[in-house]
Amino acid sequence: MSVPSLLFLIFALVGAVFFNLSAAGPWRQAVLLVVNIAFLASFAHDPVAYVPFLGFLAFGFLAQGATREGARPRLFLALVVLMVAAFVWLKRYSFVPKEIFLAFPYLLIGFSYVFFRVLHLLIDSHQGAIERKVGLVSYLNYTLNFTTLISGPIQRYQDFHKMETQRLPLGLVEIGTALERIVIGYFKVAVVSLLLSMVRRQALQHLGTDLSIADRVIGGALIAAVYPVYLYFNFSGYTDVVIGVARFFRIELPENFNRPFSSENAIIFWGRWHMTLSGWLRTYVYNPLMLEGMSRITAPGLVRYISVFCLFLTFFLVGVWHGQTTEFLVFGLLTGGGVATNQLYQVTMQSMLKPKGYRTLAANGVYKALARGLNFTWFAFTQLWFWSTWTQIADIAHTMGPLALGLSALAIYGVATLVLAALAMSRSAILALTWSGAPAVRSRHVRAAQLTALVVITAGVTLLLNAPAPDIVYKAF
């Protein structure tokens, strides 16, 4: 079942109706479990395909139970290593010998997110951050939650469990807000990202060596710059839909995006893009590394550079986690390299200008606009290794030629700087329009009009995309 789709929404609606029929905790846990299993079952018909997935879940459940609250520290470490190894093996990373892979096809849908949830449970449970023993139904509902199974967001078990015990209200306002979130998400996925992907596909199709240099620069810039925007609308739209749907099951999912392209540097950007992933890695990779580094390196000149190394490693893992091929290895190196360079730049500038001087520079409007443009351009560049293969990259580089490539990068930087600055100014201007002391755009009435408009556009596009294309049109005989 694809998310978001009409079928998914109907499925979720039916589930939510049953879920809310009774306020009893066991009823709701049972309904959610049935919904989660039914959702998972929609991805494969062969029961054997589920065996590795369920085996991993069983391993996680037993492991966290066996090492609770500091018990068996050596076993805990071994289990963490084993869990990471099992993940790498089942995900078939390209550096693992093929001979040891399972020979039969099996289900891996949302497996990376399940891995994050299970590993978090194992670590937090061992560290005593989870007060009560995790029950099997609660564990399955948490790890297999159908709203977060495919692409997150990655929720902490503590937050999920709190909602199992403390019922969140579901009144008219909450329902309206959840529906609003679903409509916005569906619009982002079904309309905006669709149009952006069409623009990009066409730019890719039209790119050729017989084009003039100006056309190649425009085409190359479109191909590289549209993808991050498409990805944002697609992924954040998906997140909006699942956040809205989860609310009907009285679950409040964490946010995953917070206007990422308004970030002035890569560090801020990763705090606003796929926030639950970067938050997870900050908690379980960056923070332990920093603590370890600071305990081992005491030389005053070196301490400030520990964070540069730790950031590189953390965001290298962000990149590598996204895929199993060497392209993702480069994506990881560029992502980690970008964040680390950004940190190094900040450390250097602070020592050159002193913290106050650097703060003044960073608050300058023109500097901020240029920094936003640069951050976007860098992200768009790193994404080349995210969406394409080595062959495609080589083809594009060959077709474009070095001059057009360089000019494309400059074009992206210039346009991104201007567009992002214009968006920031427009947003401030719109929010400055107030009504009854609050921004007019946030009023219930303006939002009703906005939502209706989104529904009309989404419905129109969905209908057009599902109606057969007309034949030759004869209107006047």
Binding positions for other proteins, rule: CB under 8 A: 172-174, 176-177, 180-181, 184, 195, 198, 201-202, 205-206, 208, 210, 240, 255, 258, 442-445, 447-449, 451-453, 456-457, 460-461, 464-465, 467-477
Based on CB atoms, which residue is closest to other proteins, 181 or 322?
181
How far apart CA 147 and CA 256 sit, in angstroms, is 13
Smallest gap, in angstroms, from Cβ of residue 395 to other proteins? 12
How far apart CA 379 and CA 64 sit, in angstroms, is 37
Q: Is 70 exposed, middle or buried, given 0-12, 13-18 or 19+ CB atoms closer than 10 A?
A: exposed
Break the chain down into helix, strand, coil percent, rounded to 5. Answer: 75, 0, 25
C-beta of residue 231 within 8 angstroms of C-beta of residue 151: no
Smallest gap, in angstroms, from Cβ of residue 466 to other proteins? 8
How far apart CA 117 and CA 143 sit, in angstroms, is 6
Based on CB atoms, which residue is closest to other proteins, 195 or 333?
195
Smallest gap, in angstroms, from Cβ of residue 148 to other proteins? 17
How far apart CA 326 and CA 390 sit, in angstroms, is 9
Smallest gap, in angstroms, from Cβ of residue 116 to other proteins? 22
Q: How far is CA 141 from the centre of its chain?
A: 21
Based on CB atoms, which residue is closest to other proteins, 99 or 471?
471
CA distances from 21 to 31, 135, 176, 243, 248 (A): 10, 23, 19, 21, 12
Other beta carbons less than 10 A from residue 281's beta carbon: 21
CA distances from 337 to 161, 236, 308, 313, 378 (A): 37, 25, 9, 9, 11
How far apart CA 197 and CA 328 sit, in angstroms, is 21
Smallest gap, in angstroms, from Cβ of residue 194 to other proteins? 8
How far apart CA 165 and CA 142 sit, in angstroms, is 13
Based on CB atoms, which residue is closest to other proteins, 418 or 456?
456
Q: DSSP for 430-471?
A: HHH-EETTEEGGGSHHHHHHHHHHHHHHHHHHHHHHHSPPP-
Smallest gap, in angstroms, from Cβ of residue 168 to other proteins? 12
Smallest gap, in angstroms, from Cβ of residue 356 to other proteins? 34
Based on CB atoms, which residue is closest to other proteins, 269 or 315?
269
Label residue 88 left, alpha or beta by phi (over 0 means left) and psi (-120 to 50 means alpha). Answer: alpha
Based on CB atoms, which residue is closest to other proteins, 106 or 233?
233
Which helix (H) or strand (E) segment is 37 a member of? helix 25-41
Smallest gap, in angstroms, from Cβ of residue 462 to other proteins? 11
Based on CB atoms, which residue is closest to other proteins, 202 or 351?
202
Tokens describing residue 343: 């940190």
How far apart CA 234 and CA 229 sit, in angstroms, is 9
Smallest gap, in angstroms, from Cβ of residue 8 to other proteins? 21
Smallest gap, in angstroms, from Cβ of residue 472 to other proteins? 4
Based on CB atoms, which residue is closest to other proteins, 244 or 337?
244
Based on CB atoms, which residue is closest to other proteins, 7 or 173?
173
Based on CB atoms, which residue is closest to other proteins, 3 or 243?
243
What is the C-alpha end-to-end distance of the chain, expressed in Å?
46
Smallest gap, in angstroms, from Cβ of residue 476 to other proteins? 4
Based on CB atoms, which residue is closest to other proteins, 196 or 340?
196
Tokens describing residue 455: 């529904």
C-beta of residue 246 within 8 angstroms of C-beta of residue 253: yes
